[in-house]
Amino acid sequence: MMRRVALGAAGLVVLLLAGVAVFLATLDIERYRPRIQAAVQAATGRAVTLGAMRLGLGLTPRIAVRELRLANLPGGTRPDMLQVAEAELELALLPLLSGNIALRRLVLKAPQILLEVVNGEPNWRFAPPAAPSAAPAGPAAPRRPPALDIGSVEMRDAKIEFPGGPPGGVVVPMLDASGRGNLSLRGTLRWGELPVSFDVEGGPLARLLGAAGPAWPLRVRAEAAGARLQAQGTVREPRGLLGYDLELVVEASSLQGLAALTGRPFPPLTSIALRGRVTGDGLAPPTPQAMALTLSAAELAPGVALTRFELAMPSATEMARLTVAGSRAGQSFTLAGSLGPLAPVLAGQPLGLDLAGEHLGYAVAAQGRVARPLAGTGVDVVVTARSAALGQARARIGERGAFFADGAALQDVALEGPVAVGTGALVLSRAPVPGLSGRLALSRLDIDAARAATAAPAAAPAAAPAAAAPPPPAAPDRRLIPNIPLDFSRLPAAVADLAFSVETLRLDARGYRAVHREHVIATQVQVIRVDGAAPFDQLALIGNSDIMRGYKRGRYRDRWTTAVQGEYRTPVRHRIGAVVFAGAGMAAPTLQALEDSRLLPTYGAGLRLQID
Question: Among 483, 502, 521, which residue terminates a domain?
Answer: 502
Residue 343 lies in a domain: no
Model confidence pLDDT, tens digit, residues 82-94: 999 888 878 766 6
Based on the fold, state whether residues 550 and 498 are members of the same structural domain.
no
E strand intervals along 238-376: 242-254, 269-280, 287-301, 304-315, 320-328, 331-340, 351-359, 362-372
Residue 514 lies in a domain: yes
pLDDT band at 4 (very low <50, low <70, confident <90, very high): very low
pLDDT for the residue numbered 459? 44
pLDDT(96) > 70: no
Based on the fold, state whether residues 32 and 98 are members of the same structural domain.
yes
Dist. CA 61–CA 97, nearest whole Å: 12
pLDDT for the residue numbered 246? 96
Q: Comparing 455 with 110, which gets the higher pLDDT?
A: 110
Mean pLDDT for the stretch of residues 117-132: 76
pLDDT(47) > 80: yes
Residue 137's identity, in one-letter code, is: A
Contacts of 460 (CB under 8 A, 6+ apart): none
Map residue 37 onto helix, strand or coil.
Answer: helix
Question: Among 468, 485, 502, which residue terminates a domain?
Answer: 502
The mean of the pLDDT values for the chain is 81
Based on the fold, state whether residues 521 and 412 are members of the same structural domain.
no
Model confidence pLDDT, tens digit, residues 262-276: 666 777 778 899 999
Dist. CA 86–CA 44, nearest whole Å: 20
Based on the fold, state whether residues 417 and 527 are members of the same structural domain.
no
Based on the fold, state whether residues 439 and 525 are members of the same structural domain.
no
DSSP-H helix ranges across 446-530? 447-454
pLDDT for the residue numbered 470? 53
Contact 401, 379 (CB under 8 A): no
> How many C-beta neighbours within 10 Å does residue 91 have?
22
Mean pLDDT for the stretch of residues 493-508: 80
Dist. CA 418–CA 235, nearest whole Å: 64
Residue 135 lies in a domain: no
Contact 200, 229 (CB under 8 A): no
pLDDT for the residue numbered 552? 81
Dist. CA 585–CA 591, nearest whole Å: 14
Most confident of 102-116, 143-157, 248-262, 412-426: 412-426
pLDDT band at 213 (very low <50, low <70, confident <90, very high): confident
Residue 74 lies in a domain: yes
Q: Comparing 335 with 265, which gets the higher pLDDT?
A: 335
pLDDT for the residue numbered 100? 61
* Secondary structure letter of residue 208 according to DSSP: H
Based on the fold, state whether residues 104 and 38 are members of the same structural domain.
yes
pLDDT band at 28 (very low <50, low <70, confident <90, very high): low
Question: Among 133, 156, 180, which residue terminates a domain?
Answer: 180
pLDDT(196) > 60: yes
Dist. CA 251–CA 274, nearest whole Å: 6
Mean pLDDT for the stretch of residues 338-348: 86
Based on the fold, state whether residues 84 and 161 are members of the same structural domain.
yes
pLDDT band at 389 (very low <50, low <70, confident <90, very high): confident
Based on the fold, state whether residues 445 and 537 are members of the same structural domain.
no
Q: Comparing 338 with 493, which gets the higher pLDDT?
A: 338
Based on the fold, state whether residues 498 and 557 are members of the same structural domain.
no
CA-based R_g, the chain, Å: 42
Output the CA torsion sign for 325, 328, 331, 333: negative
Model confidence pLDDT, tens digit, residues 429-477: 987 788 899 998 888 887 777 766 665 444 444 444 444 555 555 555 5
Preceding omega of 74 cis (within 30 degrees of 0): no
Domain of residue 80, residue span? 22-118+146-180
pLDDT band at 177 (very low <50, low <70, confident <90, very high): confident
Residue 147's identity, in one-letter code, is: A
Contact 167, 263 (CB under 8 A): no
Residue 151's identity, in one-letter code, is: G
pLDDT(136) > 60: no
pLDDT for the residue numbered 155? 85
Dist. CA 282–CA 239, nearest whole Å: 9
* Secondary structure letter of residue 36 according to DSSP: H
**Beta bridge pairs of residue 109:** 86, 156
**Residue 31 CA to chain centroid, in angstroms?**
59
pLDDT band at 583 (very low <50, low <70, confident <90, very high): very high
Contact 336, 344 (CB under 8 A): no
Dist. CA 447–CA 436, nearest whole Å: 23
pLDDT(547) > 70: yes
pLDDT for the residue numbered 458? 44
pTM score, two decimals?
0.65
pLDDT for the residue numbered 297? 76
Residue 213 lies in a domain: no
Q: What's the burial of 82, exposed, middle or buried (CB within 10 Å: 0-12/13-18/19+)?
A: buried
**Residue 562 CA to chain centroid, in angstroms?**
54
Residue 410 lies in a domain: yes
pLDDT(608) > 90: no
What's the structural domain count of the chain? Answer: 3
Q: What's the burial of 113, exposed, middle or buried (CB within 10 Å: 0-12/13-18/19+)?
A: buried
Dist. CA 606–CA 581, nearest whole Å: 9
Based on the fold, state whether residues 98 and 159 are members of the same structural domain.
yes
Residue 427 lies in a domain: yes
Contact 545, 565 (CB under 8 A): no
Residue 69 lies in a domain: yes
What b/e sequence results for 465-489 when a residue is b if at least 16 CB atoms lie within 10 Å of its CB, and e otherwise?
eeeeeeeeeeeeeeeeeeeeeeeee
Residues shown for the chain: 612
Based on the fold, state whether residues 511 and 498 are members of the same structural domain.
no
Which DSSP string corresponds to 285-317? PPEEEEEEEEEEEEEEETTEEEEEEEEEEEETT
In the Cβ-directed half-sphere of 248, how many Cα atoms lie within 13 Å? 19
pLDDT(232) > 60: yes
> CA-based diameter of the chain, in Å?
147
Based on the fold, state whether residues 155 and 73 are members of the same structural domain.
yes
pLDDT(23) > 60: no
pLDDT(575) > 70: yes
Residue 534's identity, in one-letter code, is: A
Q: Which of 97-101, 216-220, 333-337, 411-415 comes out lowest in average pLDDT?
A: 97-101
* Secondary structure letter of residue 27 according to DSSP: -
Dist. CA 38–CA 45, nearest whole Å: 10
